[in-house]
Amino acid sequence: MRILGVDPGLTRCGLGVIEAGASRSVALVEVVVATSEPGDEVPRRLAVIASALEAVLDKHRPEAIAIERVFAQLNVRTVMGTAQVSGIVMLAAERRGIPVALYTPSEVKAAITGSGRAAKPQVGQMVRRLLGEGVPSGPADAADALAIAICHAWRGAVAGARAEEGIATPAQARWADAERAARRTRSKPPVP
């Protein structure tokens, strides 16, 4: 499955494309950091990011898009720019019929490093370890976009399979797991 991970930002927007296969295998396809000039008007900046996004979508035709969820920060301007770019990505996905998933920074860090409190350098190091030498060492937006894509490959695929089973909430997932375990126990022959 080809996945586009997006680390949204108005000045720098990471766009990382991976190919996800069986057994959690992932391979780097391409990573781009789209940039806009801070001195330009916001509509112009959004148009620049949108053009870069459209080019990646046209070139790689991902089957899913994963975006880092906007979270509250002290800097309202940063949050606004991030939210605006996220909106552009969601609109482009909707127009192309591509499903979108949102992940918090801690969900991405936990998926990649095992800790939701991992530092950015740890995330970058793990992404490079998973995807190989083609991952640039900077800027962090590139590794973050790839981490978001990997997070979706590892967590989104499970969620997608669960949705096909009619499981929508964590409680339903626990119930379904318990039911499967009970069926396995009942189907085992008695021990002599």
63 is catalytic: no
Nearest Cα to Cα of residue 32 among 58, 10, 5: 5
Give me the catalytic one of 30, 41, 68, 107.
68
Give me the catalytic one of 7, 40, 107, 133.
7
68 is catalytic: yes
141 is catalytic: yes
Q: What angle do CA 26, 30, 34 make, to 5 degrees?
A: 130
Which residues contact residue 94 at a Cβ distance below 8 angstroms, ignoring those fewer than 6 apart? 100
Give the whole-angstrom CA distance, residue 77 versus residue 60.
Answer: 31
Which residues contact residue 15 at a Cβ distance below 8 angstroms, ignoring those fewer than 6 apart? 4, 5, 6, 31, 32, 33, 34, 52, 53, 56, 145
Q: What angle do CA 45, 141, 81 make, to 5 degrees?
A: 35
Could you give the 3-state DSSP secondary structure of residue 14? strand
The verdict on whether omega for the bond into residue 139 sits within 30 degrees of 0, i.e. cis, is yes
Give the whole-angstrom CA distance, residue 6 versus residue 53.
Answer: 9
Give me the catalytic one of 37, 63, 107, 141.
141
Query: Catalytic residues, which ones?
Result: 7, 68, 141
